Amino acid sequence: MDINTAARVFLMYNTIYRTGQQKGYMVYDIFHRNGETRTLEVSSSPSRDVDDMPNGFYGIVRDVTDRIRIEKMMIQTEKMMSVGGLAAGMAHELNNPLAAVSFLSNLGPGLLSSLTQNRRT
């Protein structure tokens, strides 16, 4: 955890402690001892003793690294699908006039020879 993240986490817990309000959640990166960066999502609330004095925190910590990685892959896949759809549409639009030219070029020699034969008779 870098110094800015540590300051944000401290501020979150300090605010929860001072106000007694639950903080929705916070997302931040930590550095695992194996060198890997993991992303955590933290939701925390104050715990109170019998005299209603804050005495700690309780909450949930989730490792969302894989979820974020999959979301990024899905976004990339959707982008590639869009590019593929555009390319297919462009190929279709280019192919339509080429098909007409190809059809006319195949039809042309037969059509011209039949026209010259019609003129002789």
The H-or-E segment that residue 113 falls in is helix 65-120
Residue 42: which of 56, 24, 54 has the closest Cα?
24
Residue 80 has pLDDT above 70, yes or no: yes
Given this model, what pLDDT does residue 75 score?
A: 93
Q: What is the pTM of this model?
A: 0.55
Looking at the structure of the chain, the number of domains it has is 2
Q: Are residues 14 and 55 in the same domain?
A: yes
Last residue of a domain, one of 48, 63, 78: 63
Enumerate the β-bridge partners of residue 45.
58
Residue 42: which of 61, 15, 24 has the closest Cα?
61
- Check: CB of residue 45 under 8 Å from CB of residue 16: yes
Q: Are residues 72 and 43 in the same domain?
A: no
Given this model, what pLDDT does residue 76 score?
A: 93
